[in-house]
Chain A
Amino acid sequence: MPDALTLPTRRDEDYRYADLGALAAVWPLAPETIVVPAGESRRMTVVQTGDAPQVRDLAIDLGEGATFTLHVLTVGAASARIAVTVRLAATAAFHLGAAQLAGAGATAEIVTRVVHAAPNAVSRQVVRSVAAAGGTVNYLGKVLVEKGADGTDGEQSVRAMLLDRTATANARPELEIHADDVKCAHGCAVGELDAQALFYMAQRGLPPELAKRLMLQAFVAEALVGAEDEEALQDQARAALEALL
């Protein structure tokens, strides 16, 4: 790892696909530490928007039985990055729902490192990304199950939609398991909208652009379900999607 003051390079695995030019403008970064004491619950929503690069670095420490729900919506015209490191004590729960939309010239990036340090903790990550022409979306996520963290339940569901041949998605879901009796699932898909569904919708009278919009709205909305002030967040996501199409 580079020290906090030195700008990373592409040789650093976590920055391999990053928009380093945008990072330089906001470097060095002040990491934010969040501690949730045993048995307590927190919710947080991060919206990254605007014309200037947005970079956040969260370190979350969950006590025994603590829960943390994080929602991220990245919709800005500029590049954005959020790095989240989570450490879970026994029976703690972490939920991430992230939607990132990237238009021309922008790189939207989520980097997670979820450490199951003790038994029976649960982590769920749902990441939905949309890249328009010339845009890039990245997900680099690692679930690390430490020795003794038996009964871990970790899930990564990562999907990216490319709206154009010049759009890019990079996804690197990783699992590192040093315990027994662990349930870890990861699904990762990069693709285009389902052609069968588009024909079905057209056959009922929906013009292609409307059918695409409906499907993309649903795709993005899935990541934001259960967020604090969900309706407003979903509205913001829909408006951003509208601007992207």
Chain B
Amino acid sequence: MMLIIDNLHATVADKPILKGLSLTINAGEVHAIMGPNGAGKSTLGYTLGGRPGYEVTGGTATFDGEDLFALEPHERAAAGLFLGFQYPVEIPGVSFVQFLRESLNAQRKSRGEEPLSGGEFLKLAREKAALLKLDMDMLKRPVNVGFSGGEKKRAEMVQMGILDPKLAILDETDSGLDIDALRIVGDGINAVMRRPDKAVLLITHYQRLLDYVKPDFVHVLAGGRIVRTGGAELALELEERGYEAVAA
């Protein structure tokens, strides 16, 4: 089992958001979490990623046999956890190429692997950028600065491709994408993550990304807990009947 979340409680600014969430994800699976605004979807991603201000007040999360909450955010990344941001952060003056090479090599170092040389890294970056149809020149620019919403989301997926995580938690990766970009991103997720040793947790409002990345399980999150679990058909039912009817 890749990720086991058991009875997770978390607060943001002392306000309880997650109230007993349990979820198990096995290698090779794609899970989707859907739910209304304020249900705690993004909080789940941030809490698992270790964002400061998101406090675990109860429960456990075990990632690949390790206590996830005992690890610092960068250690979680090195352990193979990738969080795709709903709003990727701009970092003026730091190029994607520099940022990602340093990040990847920091991860490799902590795993006892040799760092990639500049040439090796560029080859890898070029390959992943091509996969997501992102111009390689964009990766020479400062991180996310001046990128459109859609470009930021594609750049997130390029980063995922380069860092090659075991588990990707993708927080509303489909928001801000037009139809073509949605397909490119969906194909990218499948190409990078659809493997027996990897898993994906998609956090989304809408069914449309799930047309491209077919989930094995769909969960409905409401009031800080998972209130219903089903197969891909549950997403269609949600789309048709709305959260209120399905979650009740």
Q: Decide if A200 is an interface residue (CB 8 Å cutoff).
A: yes
Binding stretch for chain A, among B20-28, B87-95, B205-213, B219-227: B87-95
**Contacts of B102-161 to chain A: CB distance below 8 A:** 102-104, 106-107, 110, 142, 159
Tell me whether A214 and B94 are in contact (CB under 8 A): yes
Interface centre among A203, A210, A221 (most CB of B within 10 A): A203
B84's nearest neighbour on chain A, judged by CB, is A203
Q: Decide if A33 is an interface residue (CB 8 Å cutoff).
A: no
A220's nearest neighbour on chain B, judged by CB, is B93
Q: Decide if A5 is an interface residue (CB 8 Å cutoff).
A: no
Q: A197-B89, A200-B88 are in contact. Are A205 and B94 (CB under 8 A)?
A: no
Secondary structure class of chain A's binding surface, majority of residues: helix
Q: A199-B73, A201-B99, A202-B72 are in contact. Are A207 and B106 (CB under 8 A)?
A: yes
A225's nearest neighbour on chain B, judged by CB, is B93
Tell me whether A221 and B93 are in contact (CB under 8 A): yes
Q: Decide if A22 is an interface residue (CB 8 Å cutoff).
A: no
- Please give the number of chain B residues whose Cβ is less than 8 angstroms from any Cβ of chain A in the complex: 32
Say how far A9's CB is from chain B's closest CB, in angstroms.
39
Q: Decide if B194 is an interface residue (CB 8 Å cutoff).
A: no
For A203, list chain B residues within 8 Å (CB): 49-50, 73-74, 76-77, 82-83, 85
Tell me whether B103 and A201 are in contact (CB under 8 A): yes
Q: A197-B89, A218-B91, A219-B93 are in contact. Are A202 and B74 (CB under 8 A)?
A: yes
For B51, list chain A residues within 8 Å (CB): 199
Q: A195-B52, A199-B51, A221-B93 are in contact. Are A205 and B99 (CB under 8 A)?
A: no
- Please give the number of chain A residues whose Cβ is less than 8 angstroms from any Cβ of chain B in the complex: 22
Q: Decide if A50 is an interface residue (CB 8 Å cutoff).
A: no
Q: Decide if B100 is an interface residue (CB 8 Å cutoff).
A: yes
Q: Decide if B98 is an interface residue (CB 8 Å cutoff).
A: yes
For A206, list chain B residues within 8 Å (CB): 74, 99, 102-103, 106
For A217, list chain B residues within 8 Å (CB): 93-94
Q: How far is the CA of A194 from the CA of B89 in the complex (A)?
A: 10
**Contacts of A177-206 to chain B: CB distance below 8 A:** 194-197, 199-206
Q: How far is the CA of A10 from the CA of B83 in the complex (A)?
A: 52
Tell me whether B102 and A200 are in contact (CB under 8 A): no
A221's nearest neighbour on chain B, judged by CB, is B93
Tell me whether A215 and B91 are in contact (CB under 8 A): yes
Q: A200-B91, A221-B93 are in contact. Are A205 and B85 (CB under 8 A)?
A: no
For A205, list chain B residues within 8 Å (CB): 74, 77-78, 103-104, 106-107, 110, 163
Interface centre among A202, A210, A214 (most CB of B within 10 A): A202
From B49, B76, B100, B102, A210 is in contact (CB under 8 Å) with B102
For A194, list chain B residues within 8 Å (CB): 89
Q: How far is the CA of A197 from the CA of B163 in the complex (A)?
A: 18
Q: How far is the CA of A205 from the CA of B90 in the complex (A)?
A: 17
1/0 per position for A83-97, CB-CB distance to B under 8 A? 000000000000000
Q: Decide if A146 is an interface residue (CB 8 Å cutoff).
A: no
1/0 per position for A146-166, CB-CB distance to B under 8 A? 000000000000000000000
Say how far B47's CB is from chain A's closest CB, in angstroms.
12
For A196, list chain B residues within 8 Å (CB): 89
For B107, list chain A residues within 8 Å (CB): 205
Besides the contacts A205-B103, A205-B106, A218-B92, what 4 more A-B pairs have beta carbons closer than 8 Å? A202-B77, A204-B159, A205-B107, A217-B94
- List residues of B whose CB falls within 8 A of some A CB: 49-52, 72-74, 76-78, 82-83, 85, 88-94, 98-100, 102-104, 106-107, 110, 142, 159, 163
Interchain Cβ contacts under 8 Å between A and B, 23 examples:
A196-B89, A199-B49, A199-B52, A199-B89, A200-B85, A201-B99, A202-B50, A202-B72, A202-B73, A202-B77, A203-B77, A203-B82, A204-B77, A204-B159, A204-B163, A205-B74, A205-B163, A206-B102, A207-B74, A210-B106, A214-B94, A214-B98, A219-B93
9 closest Cβ pairs, A-B complex = A218-B93, A202-B73, A205-B107, A205-B77, A200-B89, A204-B103, A205-B103, A202-B74, A218-B94
